[in-house]
Amino acid sequence: MCGRFASTSTPDDLAAYFHAVLPTEAALEPSYNVAPTDDVAVVATDRGVRAVTVMHWGLVPYWAKDPGIGSRMINARAEGIAEKGAFKAAFRHRRCIVAADGFYEWRAVPGRKAKQPYFIHRPDGEPYAFAGLWERWRHPGADGGGELRSTTIVTTTPNEAMAAVHDRMPVILPASAWDRWLDPDVSDPDALADLLVPAPSELTVMHPVSTDVGNVRNDGPHLIEPVEPAPPAG
């Protein structure tokens, strides 16, 4: 599962990094504590243009009666993604990249109820390219109520480094896979299966951080600063 991450790169930097255009409406404030239902920076190809855009984190299927379902769809398991009703259409036609500067996971501490959070990031400081899916949802009713664009992060089994902290991790796409993942004309699940694998362990370095990150109201660079991990009880 990926339920919290940092998004601190500027939209201009993300556009340059992902070779994408930046629409004027794509402004997004940096956050060291992005939580489900927040707006997030996404790279997607729509109408033939690769662009950095902003979407709601928590995928709302086009057939949903209300957008509240999105809070339960922040992640999509890679296993069975091509068949699951909420994700199969987006997997074939609306894939995206969710940009993140790192993410958080919590590790159990022997003898303690509270878990120790860890910040996971690339060793070179570059952003992660999480494999994502996106959808359009239109409010039912005579006036339409506008359009909501939402996204989910695809997860897979952990690499060796991540296995010490959690049993899932985001699918992290190498730059060589961006074109294929973002190409809406690639709709055969078999042509994408080799991408839905754990990233090499050397791409997921980590360190313990403050438990402040557990509160969504907290934000700021102190959340990713290393701390001494909580010792086992007793």
Q: Indicate if 225 belongs to the active site.
A: no
Q: Which is catalytic among the residues 2, 83, 126, 160?
A: 2
Q: Indicate if 96 belongs to the active site.
A: no
* Alpha carbons 134 and 89: distance in angstroms, whole number: 10
* Alpha carbons 86 and 92: distance in angstroms, whole number: 12
* Alpha carbons 136 and 96: distance in angstroms, whole number: 13
Phi-psi region of 54 (alpha: psi -120 to 50; beta: other; left: phi over 0): beta
Q: Which is catalytic among the residues 105, 202, 225, 228?
A: 105
Which residues make beta-bridge pairs with 44?
51, 96
* Alpha carbons 186 and 82: distance in angstroms, whole number: 13
Sequence-distant (≥ 6) Cβ neighbours of residue 125 within 8 angstroms: none
* Alpha carbons 199 and 217: distance in angstroms, whole number: 30
Which residues make beta-bridge pairs with 20?
none
Residues with a catalytic annotation lie at 2, 105
